[in-house]
Amino acid sequence: MQAGAKLRRRRPCNGTRWLVTMIALGAVATSTARMTVSGLVLDINGNPVPQARVILARLPEVTATAPASARDIATAPVSVYTTVFSDQRGRFAFREPLEEAAQRFATLEAKALGYRMVFPTQGPAPLLQADGVSDISNLVLVLQPQHNMADTAPASAWLRSIPDTDPQKALVVRECVACHQIAHSDMRRFVSAMDDNPVSRSREARKFGWKQLLTYMYGTSHEYFGGAIGFQYSYQLDGREAQYLEPVAEFLATHLPERLDYVEYDYGAPLAVTADTQIREYPVSRPGEKFNTVGIREAILAGSPLQLWVADVAADRIYRIDPDTGRQRALSIPYPGATGPHSIYRGHDGRIWVTYLFQQLHGTIDLNTDRITIVQRKTTNNDYYISHDFATDWQGLVTTDSRGRLWFGDVASNSLGAVGPAGEAAILYPSPEKLLVQEHSGSDARAGVHLDDLYMYGTVITSDRKHIWYTQLNGRFGEFNTETLQYETVVNVPPAAGPRRLAITEKDILYVPLFGAGQLVEYDARAHRQVAVYDLPDRGSAPYAVAWDPGRHVLWVATSNADAIYRFDPRDHAFAVIPLPRQREYLRNLQVESSTGLLATSTALLPARAVGPRMALIIDPGDDYSRQHRKANPDRAPVHSGVVQPTTRHTTVAQLEELMRANQCVSCHAVSEARIGPPLQAIAARYAQRPRAVSIETLAAKILYGGAGNWGVFPMPARERLFSAGEARALAAAIVDLEPGSRRGTDP
C-alpha cells in the first residue's frame, strides 16, 4: 500500500461487506495472487484476543451432488477447513499461501469461548469483497464478549453445574453419551419443546417427560444395534434398562433446567495451543449409507507421503484423502455383502490393518497399491464374533504376541480372540465374568441386544508381547496371559465408570480412560499396581480413547462430549486443552503419527444420519516437537504485521459534523466536547495510536454493536439496524482521519 493513493468514491454499502474497504484501507490492493491469509483478532474495544480459533474454509466452486463412484469422488469438488490460533497480540497467520482461484470461494471466521464474531460479519464471512479487491494479509476480525456461551461451549457445559460426587452423573454420561453428546443443540431444543406450555410444568411432569424420552432412546438403540449388527431386538426395555429409567429420569429432572438456552463454561485447564497450532478438517463424501450405523468411525495417517485413511462403517468403504488438496478416493471392500469397516491401524509390517463388524473379517491395505485384502477367520465351531480392536503396542501399532498370533477384542461374546500367522481358525477365550446376555437369552450371543452387557473393548500388548490388557465396556479392565492362555489380574472400577480404549507406554504403564466418570487411571502393568486416578479438566467430557505419544512423552485424550483433545503430562500430572473448531465434535479414536508428531482422528457420530460434522482431522499441536519434525515449506509467504501506511486524507471538523448529523450521532457526541459519550476529537486521538486499518475496523464494529469498556461503564447502544458495515466503516474512517490539529487528547 502506498501513502497518498487516490481514494475511489463509492456510494455507502447497503449490505455487510467483507474486510477492509477502500475507505478503510486508503488504497487499492493490486494483486491477490498466492497470498498468505493473516491479520488480527481483536475485541470490540480493540484489545487483542489471544488463542482465538480462526477458521479458513476453502470451499468448492460449485456444489455437486455426492457422487456414487470412486472415480467421481476422486474428481469431485472438495472442501478443506484449516484452523489456526491467534498469539498473545491477537495476530494469526495461515502457513500455506492461498491461490487466487481459491480465494474467491473461501470464508473466514474467528471463534473464542465467551465471544461471538460481529465484524466484518456475524459468522463466516467471504474472504474477498464482491469486486474481488481486498488485502487478505492484513485482516481484522472483531469479536464481542458474551456471557452466554450456548453457541460456543461444548455439550458438556450443561453438566458442569452438577456435582461430580453425584453417583448418577457418571451413569448418565455412560448411558447417554455412549451414543450422542449431552446436552447437544438438538437435545436442548427438545427439552424446550417439552415445556412449550402457557404454565411451567411441575417437576413430576418433567420427570415423566424424561422417562418417555429415555424409553424412546433405549428402544431406538435396540433397533440401531440390532438392525445394524444382525441381532434380534425388541423395543421393550430389558431388566437393567428398566432399573435405570427411574434414577436417570430423577437425575435429569433435578439437575437440568426447564430451558437449556444459557450456559457459562471454562475449559478447566490452560490451552495447549500456540500461533503454530493447526487443525485441518476434511469433510468426507456421502455416497449413501448402507445402514444407519456410525459414519466416519476412525481415521489415521499412513504412507509416504502421508495420506489420511478413513474407515466409514455406514458407507461400507475405506477413504484415502490427500492432506494437501483434500482430494478423496473411495476404496470398495472386495467382499460380498455388508462388511462394516470399523477400526483402522498401522501395523509393524508396514500395512494398514482393519477390523470389520460383520462376517468375522479381518483385513489389510497395501499402502503402495491401495489394494484391500480381506480374510474371513471363523472359529472351528463357527461361533459368532465381532472384532472391535486389534491389540496394539506402545507405538500404537498392530503387533503379534511372542508366538506370532494376532489378538483382538470380541464385543459380541465378551471374549479375547486370536488368529495364527498361517491362516488358522480364530480361537475365542471368553472372559470369566458371567455375561448378562446369557442370563437373559442363553448362550447364543446373537439372541438379543442388551446395552449393559460386558463387552470386550480396547486391547493393548505389553513390551514382552506376552500379556494382553483389555477394557470391558460397562465393566472393568484386566490382563490375559498369552503364554498360559489364562485371564489373570482384574482391576475393578466404579460400576458407571465405563472404561474405554486404553493405551500403554514403552515401560508398560497403562492409561485407562473412564468414560462415565471423566477420569484417567494410571496403572503399572509390571508391578500390578494402580499409580493414580486423575480428574479430567471437565468431568463430563466423556474420554473415549487415549494415545501415548512416545516422542513427546505425553498422553493425548480424545473426548466425546467436550469438543476438545486433552494433553496429559505424566511428569507433572498437568492437563492442557486443544479446543476443536466446532461443536458436536464426537471423537472415538486418536492416533499419534510417529514421524511427524501429528495427531489424526475423526468425528464419529452415531447414528450415521445424526446432525453434525462428518470429518477426518489432522492436528498439529504447534509445539517445539512439531516444529522440529515439520518439513520446511519454502513456499510460505511472509507474515504481515497488520501495519498499513497512514493515509494523507484528512477529515475537517465541518465534514465530521455533517456526517454526525446525517447519522444521528449528535444526541450523544460532539466533536470537541463531552456529552453522553466522549468527544470525537478524543476518540480520534486514541485510535490514532493504532494502525489505521485496525482502528477503522474496531471502531466500525463499536458503532454497529456498541458496548462499554473504552470510556467508562455506560455502554454505547448497538446500531446495527441503522448502519450497514460499509456505512459504519465510512463514519469510522472520517473519525480516525480527523485533522491532527483538531484532536484534543485521549481523555474525554
- Cα separation, 413 vs 426, in Å, equals 14
pLDDT tens digits for 454-508? 789 999 999 999 999 999 988 899 999 999 999 999 999 998 999 999 999 999 9
- Cα separation, 192 vs 256, in Å, equals 11
Res 28 pLDDT > 50: no
| pLDDT the model gives residue 228 | 57
Output DSSP code: residue 505: -
Beta bridge partners of 534: 520
Q: What is the pTM of this model?
A: 0.88
Phi, psi angle pair for 626, to nearest 5°:
-60, -45
| pLDDT the model gives residue 224 | 66
pLDDT tens digits for 352-381? 999 998 899 999 999 999 999 999 999 999
E-assigned strand segments in 402-518: 406-410, 415-419, 427-430, 455-461, 467-473, 477-481, 486-491, 503-504, 509-514
Longest dimension (CA), the chain: 95
Res 41 pLDDT > 90: yes
- Cα separation, 618 vs 279, in Å, equals 6
Res 20 pLDDT > 60: no
- Residue from 422, 428, 356, 426 nearest 389 by CA: 356
Q: What is the DSSP string of 59-121?
A: --SS--PPPSSHHHHHHS---EEEEEE--TTSEEE-SSPBPHHHHTTEEEEEE-TTEEEEES-
pLDDT tens digits for 391-404? 999 999 999 999 99
Percent of the chain whose pLDDT exceeds 90: 53
- Cα separation, 484 vs 489, in Å, equals 13
Cell numbers 492432506: residue: 323
Distance of CA 291 to the CA centre of its chain: 25
What's the CATH class of domain 22-146+644-742? mainly beta
Report the chain's mean pLDDT, rounded to a whole number: 84
Amino acid 217 reads M
Structural domain spans, the chain = 22-146+644-742, 166-255
| pLDDT the model gives residue 722 | 82
Cell numbers 444521528: residue: 664
